[in-house]
Structure formats: C-alpha cells, structure tokens
C-alpha cells in the first residue's frame, strides 16, 4: 500500500466518523454524563462495530468483482450519487444535537452502547460499500483488504476517543454545541467534493 492510498483511505474513514449523528450523541453522552473512561469504552465499542461493517463491505464487494464486473461498476456509480445525496442532506440539515443524561450504569453497558449504535445503523454499511468500491479491484491482495478493515475500525475509534478527550473539557464541549451547525455544511461540501473526484474514476 502506497502512502497516497493509505492517506486517501484514512481521510474518507475520518470524514465518515466525523459526520454528526446519533453515534456522536451516544459517545458524548457517556463521556459527559458518566466519565471519560465510559466515553472511551463507548468509542472502542463503536469502532468494533465499524470494523464488522467494513468486513462485510470488503467481502461483499470482492465477491461482486469476481462474479459481475458490470454490476460492480454500477455500484460505483450509485456510490457517487449516494455521496452527493449525503453531502446535500448535510448542507441542508438544520438538526440540533440534544445531549441528555442516559442510563448506562456499567462499563460493559457503555461499550455495548457504542457497539450497538454502530452495528444497528445500515447507513454505515452503505457508506462503506460506496467508499470501498473505489478501493477494491481484482488486484487487491489479502494485506490490502485487511488494511481496509483495520483502518476503518481504528480511525473510527481514535476519532471518538479524541472527541471524548475534547468534550470532557467543559469549554470545548460548549464550543462544539455552538459550532455544530457550522460543522454540518463543511462536511457536506467535503462529501460532494469526494463524490466529484470519485466520479472521475467511474467515467474515465
């Protein structure tokens, strides 16, 4: 794996992890209303769930490549449209984060909450199919495919651990709540940019 390819994979995985949504709320809830350790365990559980989705995406895409190349190219085209849709939705969204006390009483519960919120979100699988279809080919070796899985899981967990460290500082937590509506359109424009760049791979 080249440094450029590694950087591309890390970037798209990080962008996916940074997208505001229910996962962010669960992790921040446990960090703020329980303690930092609970937040970190939630982040690790979430990363594990992401890794399982990444495994399913890599195996599924690999099977499609070997059996139907036309269908595979169709998935790549749909993935571009999906990313455009996500970007537009993020830009237009006016949702607000609502942080409320939750009932996670044990460390195992905190870990389980992080795992559950990721594994029960089918949009995550769609995200990986959309993104990883552009990193998959018949030339991929086992190491590259394993790297795709590990990078997704580790980047996600590390992002949320970093977020936990930030929100356990009260000043930064308040800043995140204030700037949340600014973060959404920025991520939206980045998603659209990625879609445009990936479309070059589809049509050229």
Confirm if 72 and 61 have CB atoms less than 8 A apart: yes
Q: What is the pLDDT of residues 169-182, one digit of tens each?
A: 767 767 766 766 67
Distance of alpha carbon 79 from the chain centroid: 15
- In the chain, DSSP finds a helix count (H) and a strand count (E) of 8, 0
- pTM equals 0.70
Percent of the chain residues past pLDDT 70, beyond the cut: 82
* Cα dihedral 180, 183, 185, 191 sign: negative
Is residue 155 scored above 90 in pLDDT? yes
Rounded Cα gap, residues 49 and 113, in angstroms: 10
Number of structural domains, the chain? 1
Looking at per-residue pLDDT, the higher value among 39 and 95 belongs to 39
How far from chain centre, in Å, is Cα 16? 3
pLDDT one-digit tens code per residue, 75-90: 677 767 877 887 787 7
User: Average pLDDT in the 16-23 region?
Assistant: 77
pLDDT at 142: 87
Amino acid 156: pLDDT: 94
Report the candidate in 142, 174, 154 with the shortest Cα–Cα distance to residue 46: 154
Q: How far apart (Å, rounded) are the C-alpha atoms in residues 88 and 54?
A: 24
Query: Which domain, by its residues, includes 89?
Result: 3-203
What pLDDT score does 48 carry? 95
Residue 43 has pLDDT above 90, yes or no: yes
Q: Each residue of 52-106: pLDDT tens digit?
A: 988 888 888 777 766 776 776 776 777 678 778 877 877 887 665 555 555 545 7
DSSP one-letter string for 20-45: -SHHHHHHHHHHHHT-HHHHHHHHHH
Tell me, what's the pLDDT at 10? Answer: 92
For the beta carbon of residue 121, count every other beta carbon within 10 angstroms: 18
- Sign for the CA dihedral angle at 26, 28, 33, 38 comes to positive
Q: Which residue has the higher pLDDT, 33 or 103?
A: 33
pLDDT at 203: 65
Residue-level pLDDT at 204: 60
Q: Residue 87's pLDDT is what? A: 78
- How high does pLDDT run on average in the chain? 79
């Amino acid at each position: 794996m080249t440094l450029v390819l590694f950087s591309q994979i890390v970037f798209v995985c990080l962008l996916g992890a940074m997208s505001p949504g229910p996962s962010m709320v669960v992790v921040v809830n446990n960090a703020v209303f329980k303690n930092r350790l609970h937040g970190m365990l939630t982040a690790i559980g979430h990363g594990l769930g992401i890794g399982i989705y990444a495994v399913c995406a890599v195996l599924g895409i690999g099977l499609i490549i070997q059996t139907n190349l036309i269908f595979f190219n169709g998935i790549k085209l749909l993935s571009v449209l999906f990313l455009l849709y996500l970007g537009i939705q993020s830009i237009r969204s006016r949702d607000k984060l609502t942080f409320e006390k939750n009932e996670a009483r044990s460390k195992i519960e905190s870990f389980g909450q992080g795992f559950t919120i990721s594994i029960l979100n089918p949009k995550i699988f769609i995200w990986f199919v959309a993104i990883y279809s552009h990193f998959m080919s018949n030339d991929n070796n086992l190491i590259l495919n394993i790297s795709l899985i590990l990078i997704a899981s580790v980047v996600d967990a590390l992002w949320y651990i970093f977020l936990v460290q930030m929100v356990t500082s009260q000043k930064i937590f308040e800043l995140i709540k204030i700037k949340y509506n600014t973060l959404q359109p920025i991520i939206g424009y980045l998603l659209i940019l990625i879609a445009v760049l990936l479309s070059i791979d589809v049509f050229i």
